[in-house]
Amino acid sequence: MITTGDKAVFASLESLIQDQYQTYRLTAFPDRKTSRVNNGNYRSIFKGRGMDFDEVREYQQGDDVRLVDWRITARHGKTYTKVFREERDRQIWFLLDFRHGMHFATRQAFKSVIAAHLASMTAWFFQGKGDKIGGILLSDEEMKLCKPSRLYRHLIEFLAKISQMTRQNTSLKPIQEEISLSTACWKLRRTCRNGNLVFVISDFSDVNEETFKSLASLAKGNEVILINVFDELEGRCPVPNLYPITNGEKIAALDTRQPAVQKAYVNYFEKRHASLKDFAANYHVHYIPISTGMDFYDVFAQSLRRRHK
């Protein structure tokens, strides 16, 4: 958990480096069926489509339908799927959203800070396994492409750029026309080859059909995990009152005393959440909603562990 103060507003490089000590959360319990030299005593809770066959087990919701073993399925009358060990040489990609909407929270820390720490913990985990780390960092003004590398120096540079992104948009200023999430997803799809693990961390405030098309195309050849970071206030209308709101240039009023406004406020969030959940179910993508009030390290790891099982 993050304490109040500057740590709640931006993520320093030092704090992101410290996330390497949180990677123990991303391991599963020992599995007697799988012992292999240099694999360690614990298994990753991330499943990959590597070259090393692991086992056949009954199909579970979220499994890749392309890995169904039709011969065994026909023999037993139940759907079985093949499970492969994590591919050692695959790349780990991040699409991190640091646009103005992510610099907000009413609990614990800004959404941008939580996104930064989830990415850094995961990056440290895979860097320790020898995988290449890269990604796209999205702000209102630009998209920074960080090419994948397994070098320690590269990871530090990657984290430094993430830290810098969390320091943007923390002052009240007019909101400029932002780069859309769909544009960033399209860029990622064009850049990322198949067979990789992809994390998209955002509040998905402007998710639309074009975004889903790019993500669906990305999910055809990669394992995709969507992490929706949100604040409780976004899904729960404030108590009835007249609230001044601003974009840094113009001032307006939000009147939550009106039932129609309350309903529209809640429906906007619930509709977006439902669309992400439905997309994930239809395209075998793992979807993890995380509130700013949660112990996000544990919620993230526990959600992945449930998928692993």
Give the CA radius of gyration of the chain. Answer: 20
Q: Which of 197-211, 274-288, 292-306 has the lowest mean pLDDT?
A: 292-306
Output the CA angle 138-221-94, nearest 5 degrees: 25
286 with 146, same domain?
yes
| Residue that wins the pLDDT comparison between 254 and 215 | 215
302 with 162, same domain?
yes
Q: Print the domain residue range for 61.
A: 48-84
Q: Is a pLDDT exceeding 50 seen at residue 43? A: yes
Q: Which of 35, 59, 84 is the last residue of a domain?
A: 84
Q: How many CB atoms lie within 10 A of CB 4?
A: 9
pLDDT for residue 48:
47
Give the pLDDT mean for 64-71: 85
129, 130, 93: which is closest to 222 by C-alpha? 93
62 with 74, same domain?
yes
**CB-hemisphere CA count at 13 Å for 10?**
17
Kindly state whether residue 263 falls inside one of the protein's structural domains. no
What pTM does this model have? 0.80
18 with 138, same domain?
yes
Kindly state whether residue 303 falls inside one of the protein's structural domains. yes
Distance CA 4, CA 72 (A): 54
Report the number of distinct structural domains present in the chain. Answer: 2
Kindly state whether residue 271 falls inside one of the protein's structural domains. no
| Residue that wins the pLDDT comparison between 56 and 46 | 56
**CB-hemisphere CA count at 13 Å for 16?**
27
Q: Which of 60, 84, 108 is the last residue of a domain?
A: 84
Kindly state whether residue 72 falls inside one of the protein's structural domains. yes
Query: What is the CATH number for 155?
Result: 3.40.50.410
Distance CA 125, CA 142 (A): 27
72 with 221, same domain?
no
217 with 98, same domain?
yes
217 with 179, same domain?
yes
